Amino acid sequence: MEIGTIGLGPSAVTRHVLIKILSSS
């Protein structure tokens, strides 16, 4: 499901944000 929504869904955005926050921290 995520494969077909790479950067085209709330889940992808949320995941990206979480990763960015974890990286910053």
pLDDT of residue 21: 92
Joined tokens for residue 24: 């910053």
| Domain positions in the chain | 1-25
Segment 1-25, tens digit of pLDDT: 455 555 567 787 888 888 999 998 7
pLDDT of residue 2: 52
Which H, E and C letters describe 12-23, residue by residue? HHHHHHHHHHHH
pLDDT of residue 4: 54
CB 5 within 8 A of CB 16: no
